Structure formats: C-alpha cells, structure tokens
C-alpha cells in the first residue's frame, strides 16, 4: 500500500478544556521492532483522555503525545519482531497513545482481532474497558463463580463492561449511579440491582441486598469519600479494588476493621504496565473473553459516535456524565 507522507490527527496547543483541540497534520508514526502501524478506522474515547487533555495525566516519556488509548483498524506494516500479525489484518489495540489520528502504532502484543461480526466502531470500544475490567475485577479482585461485586459508575464504559462480564461468568453484580435513567439502563443490561447514590446510602443498601453478608469485591473510581463505606460493605475476605481517585486519594481508615474482616485493599493503573504485562492480559482476554464476544454476547454499548474532527464534543459528553456506554470517534471508512 502506498502510504501518504502526512496524516491528520487531533492536536492541542496547550492543556485545557475541550476547545483546545484542533486538527493538525504531521508525519506518520514509525513502528518500533515490536510494533505494528495501524490505519485507524475508529478510536475509543475514555476518561483518561480527558485527564491528559487537561494536563493532569501526561503520557509516559516514550509514548506518543497524541491522545487516544484504543483503536480499531487495519495493520499496514509490522516491525521485525512481530511474527503473528500481517498487513491487511483487522485488529483492535490498546495503544500507548496516539489513537486520535489517521495512523497509529501499537505493540503487537497489545493487538487483538476484531470479534466475529464486529465493525470498526464496536471493535474500537473494546480494549481499554475490557483490559481494565479483566485486570481489576477478575485478576486483582480474584472473582470466582458465585461471588458478588459492587461497581461504582455502572453506566459508563467500565461499568457496562463489568455488568456484562461479571454476569457472564456466574456472579452477582450491583452498581451505583446518579439517576433513575442510568439505574434502569444498568438493570436492563444485567445488573442485579442499581443503587441511586443521590437517594440512598450505597453501603446500607448493599447490606440489605445481601442479607447482611456484604459483597466479595468492590470496584471504586471515586476514592476518598467512598473508602470507609466501601470497606464497610465488604464480606469476610472481601477485596476493595481502586481503579481511580476522582474525588481524592488520601483517606483515614480503621485498620482493625480491615484486620478483623481479613480485607484486601488493592488497585492498579494500566498505562505504566510494560508491554509484556499488557500482552499477557491480551492473551487472557483472547482465551476467556473473545469466545464470548465471538458468540455475540457481552458486546460494548455505544452511546454516540463522532467524526475525528469533533473530538472536543466527544470530550464534552464524557465530562457531562450523561452518556450510557462508550463514546467513539469515527476516523475512516
């Protein structure tokens, strides 16, 4: 394939609000030996993208400064160390940045084939949320069949993925959300119950729903304001998994409660993980989750699709918190 010398991508003059985005042109990225060059057809939009745009979640030194952590597209070329991906293959990829562009590089180990029957928009909505849910709930959270889970923010990309996968693998899932519309949507998608946190204390409600036992895993994105209540609604040997700290990271806890209930407090960040670590996650997903996706179950829910040039509007939707499911940028046909 004859490649253009220049590509369009979303640039920003300086950190700030969505209005800082602008369409720019520049040279195509060059893949390293362990990477592939992808012609991007669609790119997922995630809350870490918003934080990067605001200047509070900078990319790693060796990563692309262009925003965008997940793409779906066509492999154009592969580095010398990539053995199992060939030009023309359609992949979705967890990238190390660079997704809001017509071309993007990604380590070959972080690429997966499109599930059967998927288009580019659906495939682009997979990597960030499915990698994150698998690591935090199933690996760190040690979820086992018959367990129960509480997920905060059930109507976002992470929440909806969690609802579907937790239910698929034989567990009960409860979620919190801030409106009746979102709570109803979560229940329709498979949540056993959705708690409106504006009307109920979620910890009290969880204890009611579980007959005083509590849940085995809590996945939290809020941080400090939720911590004490998260711990209070965990069952014996329960696990609190911290995914984000949107409202603060410093908190005082009662360690006697942790000790007496044999609780585990853990958490993770995806971006700093090595390529080998992300590759192992990709292999686990391919073996365990891809057969489910290929069968037509647990597909991502798409809230809205925008052209690449309207990335600012996509970010406004994310920041408004009004979406149910994923926001995706359509880059090419």
Query: pLDDT tens digits, residue range 85-102?
Result: 999 999 999 999 999 999
- pTM for the structure as a whole: 0.95
Question: CA-based angle 317:323:328, to the nearest 5?
Answer: 70
Q: Quick one: 59 exposed, middle or buried, by C-beta within 10 A (0-12, 13-18, 19+)?
A: middle
Residue 1 has pLDDT above 80, yes or no: no
38 and 111 assigned to the same domain: yes
299 and 196 assigned to the same domain: no
Q: What is the DSSP letter of 60?
A: P
13 and 119 assigned to the same domain: yes
Domain with 63 in it: 6-126+271-330
Residue 77 backbone class (left: φ over 0; alpha: ψ -120 to 50; beta: rest): beta
184 and 254 assigned to the same domain: yes
245 and 302 assigned to the same domain: no
Query: pLDDT tens digits, residue range 166-200?
Result: 999 999 999 999 999 999 999 999 999 999 999 99
> Is the torsion defined by CA of 226, 227, 232, 234 positive or negative?
positive
Residue 125 has pLDDT above 90, yes or no: yes
Domain boundary (231, 251, 267) is at 267
pLDDT of residue 254: 95
29 and 92 assigned to the same domain: yes
Query: pLDDT tens digits, residue range 291-320?
Result: 999 999 999 999 999 999 999 999 999 999
107 and 146 assigned to the same domain: no
Domain boundary (267, 301, 321) is at 267
Rg (CA), the chain: 20
Judge whether 165 lies within some domain.
yes
Residue 2 has pLDDT above 90, yes or no: no
Number of domains in the chain: 2
Percent of the chain with pLDDT over 70: 100
Query: pLDDT tens digits, residue range 22-58?
Result: 999 999 999 999 999 999 999 999 999 999 999 999 9
Query: pLDDT tens digits, residue range 99-118?
Result: 999 999 999 999 999 999 99
19 and 80 assigned to the same domain: yes
Distance CA 310, CA 101 (A): 12
Domain boundary (215, 235, 267) is at 267
Six-digit token pair at 55?
A: 């200047």
CATH number reported for the structural domain that contains residue 28 in this entry: 3.90.180.10
């Amino acid at each position: 394939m004859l490649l253009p010398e220049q590509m369009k991508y979303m640039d920003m003059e300086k950190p700030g609000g969505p209005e800082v985005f602008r369409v720019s042109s520049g040279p195509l990225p060059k893949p390293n030996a362990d990477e592939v060059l992808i012609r991007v057809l669609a790119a997922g939009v995630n809350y870490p993208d918003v934080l990067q745009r605001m200047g509070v979640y900078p990319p790693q030194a060796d990563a692309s400064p262009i925003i965008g952590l997940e793409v779906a597209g066509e492999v154009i070329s592969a580095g010398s160390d990539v053995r199992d991906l060939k030009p023309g293959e359609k992949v979705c990829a967890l990238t190390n940045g660079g997704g809001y562009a017509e071309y993007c590089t990604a380590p070959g180990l972080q690429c997966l084939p499109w599930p059967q029957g998927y288009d580019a928009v659906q495939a682009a909505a997979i990597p960030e949320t499915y990698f994150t849910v698998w690591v935090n709930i199933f690996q760190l959270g040690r979820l086992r069949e018959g367990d129960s889970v509480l997920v905060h923010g059930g109507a976002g990309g992470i929440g909806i993925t969690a609802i579907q996968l937790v239910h698929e693998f034989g567990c009960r899932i409860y979620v919190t959300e801030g409106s009746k519309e979102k709570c109803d949507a979560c229940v329709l998608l498979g949540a056993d119950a959705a708690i409106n946190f504006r009307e109920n204390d979620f910890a009290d409600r969880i204890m009611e729903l579980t007959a005083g036992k509590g849940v085995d895993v809590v996945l939290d994105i809020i941080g400090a304001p939720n911590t004490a209540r998260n711990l209070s609604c965990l069952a014996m040997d329960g696990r609190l998994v911290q995914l984000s700290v949107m409202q603060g990271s410093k908190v005082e806890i009662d360690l006697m409660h942790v000790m007496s209930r044999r609780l585990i407090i853990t958490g993770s960040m995806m971006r700093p993980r090595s390529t080998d670590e992300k590759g192992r996650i990709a292999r686990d997903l391919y073996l365990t989750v891809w057969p489910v996706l290929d069968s037509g179950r647990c597909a991502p829910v798409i809230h809205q699709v925008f052209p690449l040039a309207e990335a600012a509007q996509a970010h406004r939707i994310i920041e408004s918190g009004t979406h149910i499911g994923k926001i995706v940028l359509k880059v090419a046909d």
